[in-house]
A and B are shown apart, each in its own frame.
Chain A
Amino acid sequence: QKEVEQNSGPLSVPEGAIASLNCTYSDRGSQSFFWYRQYSGKSPELIMFIYSNGDKEDGRFTAQLNKASQYVSLLIRDSQPSDSATYLCAVSYNQGGKLIFGQGTELSVKP
C-alpha cells in the first residue's frame, strides 16, 4: 500500500512568519511530487511541483525534495492570512499515473 503522510495540524503561524509543511512517502520509486492548496469547500489548486532532489523556489513558496529520506516539504515565506488553507501533498509513482494524496495539513496564519 503506497502511502503519503502529513501532519493534519492545525499549524498556526503569525503573519509574516515562515510556515513549514512536511510530507513523507512510502515508495522509493516515486517520481513526481506536488503541493496543492485547498480552501474550504473548494477544489485543490496546484501551487508547486518538484521532480528532482533539492529546492525549487517560486515566489514565496519553496519546495524541498529529499528522495533518500523520502521526504518533501513546502516552505511559505512571509505568510499571509490568505494563505490559511489546507495543504495537500501528492505523489505520483509512475509517469502518467494516478496521484496519491496525503491527508492534508491545515494552516492558519494569524494577523
Chain B
Amino acid sequence: GAVVSQHPSWVICKSGTSVKIECRSLDFQATTMFWYRQFPKQSLMLMATSNEGSKATYEQGVEKDKFLINHASLTLSTLTVTSAHPEDSSFYICSARPGRGDEKLFFGSGTQLSVL
C-alpha cells in the first residue's frame, strides 16, 4: 500500500500554545489529503479536506481559524492547532489517496496531542 508519514507521533503542550502536525505522502503525490480527529473509544471524525494549492474545506462545526491547514505541495499537508486548550486533546490522523481512480485511503500513523 501507499505510505503516508505523519509527525510528530505525540506531543504535549501547554494551554494557549500552537502545535503543528505534518503529513507527507512518501511514494505518491496527493492533491487531496484528509484530516481526521478521534477521541478515545470513538470513531474517526473528518475535520477537513486539504487541497493542494487552495483553501481547505472544513466540515461543519470545525473552526477554520483554530485548525489551520496548509497544503503547499503535492506531498505535504500541515495541520496547526492554534491556541490549544485541553479540550483539543485528541488523536489526529491524516490520510491520502495514492492516485486518480484509486478510492483506497491510507492513513498516517497519527499524532496524540495532549494539552495541559
Contact = CB atoms under 8 A, between A and B. Distances in A.
Interface of A: 31-32, 34, 36, 41-46, 49, 51, 88, 90, 92, 95-96, 98-104
14 contacts: A32-B103, A41-B112, A43-B108, A43-B109, A43-B110, A45-B107, A49-B103, A92-B103, A98-B34, A99-B34, A99-B105, A100-B46, A101-B44, A102-B43
Question: Which of A46, A98, A102, A104 has the most chain B CB atoms closer than 10 A to its own CB?
Answer: A98
B32 interface: yes
Given A95-B103, A98-B34, A104 B43 contact: yes
B109 to A, nearest CB: 5
A45 to B, nearest CB: 8
Contacts, number: 50
Interface string B82-115: 0000000000010101001101111111101000
B54 interface: no
A78 B16 CA distance: 50
Given A45-B107, A90-B105, 11 more contacts: A32-B103, A34-B104, A34-B105, A36-B107, A44-B44, A46-B105, A46-B106, A88-B44, A95-B103, A101-B44, A101-B45
Nearest to B103: A32
Interface in B64-78: none
Nearest to A31: B103
A105 to B, nearest CB: 10
Interface string B39-69: 0001111100100000000000000000000
A46 B1 contact: yes
A67 to B, nearest CB: 16
A42 B46 contact: no
Contacts of A32: 103
A88 B41 CA distance: 12
